[in-house]
Structure formats: C-alpha cells, structure tokens
Structure 1
Amino acid sequence: MAIIAVATTKGGSGKSTLAACLSAYWAESGVTVQTLDTDPNRNLLARLDGSGIPCLGVDEEAILMAVAAAAKEVEIVIVDVAGALARGMLYAVSAADIVLIPCRPDRNDVVEAVRTQEVIRQAEVMTRRSIPHSALLTQVNSRAQVTGQTRTQLDALGIPYFGVNMPARTAYQQASYTGAPLADTAVQKDIAAIAAAVTELMERGNA
C-alpha cells in the first residue's frame, strides 16, 4: 500500500495530468487505486469522469480522514493537492509515503518546487519521519536549452528529480477531453517509465 501526494504550490504544472495518468496506469496493471481531488476546481475529477477510475472530491478539512479511509480499501492512494490550500497541502504531504513535485522547465516552477520542499520539511518535523520526494519535469521539450538549465537549478537548490520526464505532447491535452489518459501509445511509454521511477522511490523509502 502506498499514499502518493502530487503536490506543488504552483498551478499549471501538470499535477492533475500526472495524477490521472499514474492512476490509469496502475489501474490497468491490476492495482487497486483511489484518487482524491483536493482542488476546489475539481480538475482531476473532471479528467477521470467516465474513465472508471474512482475519484473523490475532498475538502481541505477532510483530507486526512479521506486518505486514511482510502488506504484501508486500496493498494495505491493518489492525492492531487491544490497548491492554493496551504493547510490542505500540509495535511496531504503529512499523510503521504512519497511526494511527487511536477515542475515545468521554468524558473518560476523551480522556485515553487523549493517552496513545496519547504512544506515537506515542515511535515517531516510534524510526523518525525522522512518523506521521500522528487521533482518530475513536465511539459518538456528535450531539445530546449532551458530543460538542462532547470535541472542545473534543481541540483543547486537541493531538489531531487527523476531521470525521466513528462514530454510536451498534445495527447495529454486531448486526454482531458476524452477521459482516457493512456489512449496514446507515446503517453503509455512515458507513464510506464515514470511509474517505474516512482516505484523505485517508494522502495528506497521503505528500505
């Protein structure tokens, strides 16, 4: 069983897309999954509508109870954390086994990744345990110089990041309309690689 928080203090970085794709990947692999959408706009709930993947909209004050209830029923709980909810983010991160920080190759997103890590550090103090976490570069153009610059900045600021990333593809945008996160073959390969990296992070955290 694992509780995964997908969190960043900045909107537009791909939290809901990542949460939707990972939940679809594990569900199709035969793993029981529950997703929790803490964003008042319910973006994840809308993305997964009709997909067959269970998604529950959760208000800020109910996050801890919802995570605890879901963890009793399924193997993986994925929490899409609204960046605007300061307490909600702290609650979700405190309950998580690992935290994924979506980060576009952009200076502002790197700054927000640092702020998100600060929340994780607060949660570690509260829970008296280490919370494994890693940034995931999203909307990546591998040929763009800014991608390398972003990795350099993350290194300099002490933010761990995955060696895999989520490329910029129109298929991710199309999936928001179709409710089929993994309909595209290229997306399937992206998410399989990301899921493997996330699993490795979980295993290291449990070691």
Structure 2
Amino acid sequence: MTGYVITLATSKGGAGKSTLARNIAAHWLNIGMKVAIIDADPQGSIINRHNPNGELSSLMVIAEPEESVASVIDELKREYNYVIVDTGGFRNRTTVRALVASNLALIPLKPSADDVAGALETHNLIKELNKTPERISNPIKYRMIITMSQQNTVIARHVRAELEQLGYLLLKSEMYHRVAYPESAINGSSPCVSDPDGPAARDINQIIKELVDYL
C-alpha cells in the first residue's frame, strides 16, 4: 500500500488547520479507511485532545514536531490509506519537509486580510519547494480552502473572488463556522462520527469529494 499524504499548512495561526485535519480524518475513518494523523504542530492541538478510548479510538495519532517528520510519513503511508499532517502556524523545517513529502497541500484561511496574507506566504513557500530537485519534476499540488466562514456572506465571496481572479486554486467547498466542531473536539471527536447526518458532517463530505478528485 502507498497511501496519500495531505499536509495542512499556513503561516497564520488560528485558521482552522487542526479542526479540518481531525474532521477529514474522521470522515475517512467512518467509511472504513485506514487513517493516520501526524501532529507536527508544537502546540499539539490534535494529540492533546485525542481520546484513545473515545469515538476516534481507531485513529492513529502521532506527535512529530521535529525534522524527522518525513521518515515518519514514509513509514505510515505504507500502512495507511491516508496520512494527514497538521503543521504549526509558521514556516519551519518540519513544515517544509512535510510539504515535500505530500501529494497535496491544503492551505486553510478564514475570510480575513491576515489569513489571506498567511495563505499567500504558504503558497510562495510551495512555489519555492517546487523548484527543488525533490519536486521539480513532480510539483506539490495545492488547494486553498476557506474556513470558519458564514454561509453566503459578502466577505467570504469577496475573498474567494479576489483569490480566484489572481489565479489561486481554491476548493469550491468551505468549512463553515459550526458549533459542532468545538463541541465534539472537547472529547477528541468529530461531528462526522457523533452526528453524521448533521450540517458539519455534510460540509466535510463535500470537501472530501473534491479532495478525492484532486488526489
């Protein structure tokens, strides 16, 4: 088996990386896939809330905030369908090595000027990495995704339109602001498991459909 590797990265903290990573993993786990998360964020947002006896008990979660993340990815993708890497909200060697080892980079951003700036900085990092010997013949694919947005708001539409007009690639789906995410995260779970027919789970389902197409 050679699993797919998805790295979530942005240089702006608080963009919803960990929430998105946990819920993508939960969706795939819920439909019978073997999934592993590497928590490469020094804050440990995922590992610290993971409950090995809870609803996501079969989810493999490993804390690896060091530069050896690439070897951990290589090992896990031999055993798992999907390996999801949650990085810190800044540029460091761990993030760089995770991106180089990825099939797809997801760049989350809230509809705000600061988040857009962070997303563009991460996009520029990916462009740099695609010029390296490791990726020049196989460039890292990426998609930006708008997170924590309210449905049909002017600001979210404006941010999307501006980025698309400049040629950046965005998922059509968004991770909307839902109270179900922080509520389920208290127990290290996900609405994809606790409320699979609810609006948050449906949002994640739409995101997954797009991701599968790109992968």
Give the secondary-structure state (helix, strand or coil) at the position aligned to 1:197. Answer: helix
Correspondent of 1:47 among 46, 49, 71:
49
- How big is the alpha-carbon RMSD for the aligned residues of Structure 1 and Structure 2? 1.2
Residue 63 of structure 2 aligns with which residue? 57
- TM-score between the two structures when normalised by the length of structure 2: 0.90
For residue 23 of structure 1, report the CA deviation from its aligned partner. Answer: 0.5
Gaps of at least 5 residues in structure 2 are: none
1:60 touches 1:85 (CA, 8 Å); kept in 2? no
1:112 and 1:9 mapped to 2: Cα distance?
5
Give the secondary-structure state (helix, strand or coil) at the position aligned to 1:133. Answer: strand
Give the partner amino acid of 2:78.
K
2:172 pairs with 1:163: yes
Residue 208 of structure 2 aligns with which residue? 195
Gaps of at least 5 residues in structure 1 are: 203-207
2:72 pairs with 1:66: yes
1:83 touches 1:89 (CA, 8 Å); kept in 2? no
Give the partner amino acid of 2:127.
R
Give the secondary-structure state (helix, strand or coil) at the position aligned to 1:125. Answer: coil
Correspondent of 2:99 among 85, 89, 93:
93
1:17 touches 1:172 (CA, 8 Å); kept in 2? yes
For residue 85 of structure 1, report the CA deviation from its aligned partner. Answer: 4.3
2:161 pairs with 1:148: no
Aligned residues: 202
1:110 touches 1:153 (CA, 8 Å); kept in 2? no
For residue 83 of structure 1, report the CA deviation from its aligned partner. Answer: 2.4
User: Where is the helix percentage greater, Structure 1 or Structure 2?
Assistant: 1
For residue 187 of structure 1, report the CA deviation from its aligned partner. Answer: 1.5
Segments of 4+ moved more than 2 angstroms? 46-51
Residue 5 of structure 1 aligns with which residue? 7
2:162 and 2:49 mapped to 1: Cα distance?
32
Correspondent of 1:18 among 17, 20, 42:
20
2:107 touches 2:144 (CA, 8 Å); kept in 1? yes
Write out per-residue CA displacement over residues 30-83 of structure 1, whole angstroms, 9 at most, x where no aligned residue.
Answer: 111111001111101123323211100002211111111111111110000112
1:131 and 1:174 mapped to 2: Cα distance?
34
2:43 touches 2:88 (CA, 8 Å); kept in 1? no
Write out per-residue CA displacement over residues 143-197 of structure 1, whole angstroms, 9 at most, x where no aligned residue.
Answer: 3210111112212333210111011111111122022212232111111111111
2:172 and 2:23 mapped to 1: Cα distance?
18
1:114 touches 1:157 (CA, 8 Å); kept in 2? no
Give the secondary-structure state (helix, strand or coil) at the position aligned to 1:178. Answer: coil
Give the secondary-structure state (helix, strand or coil) at the position aligned to 2:131. Answer: helix
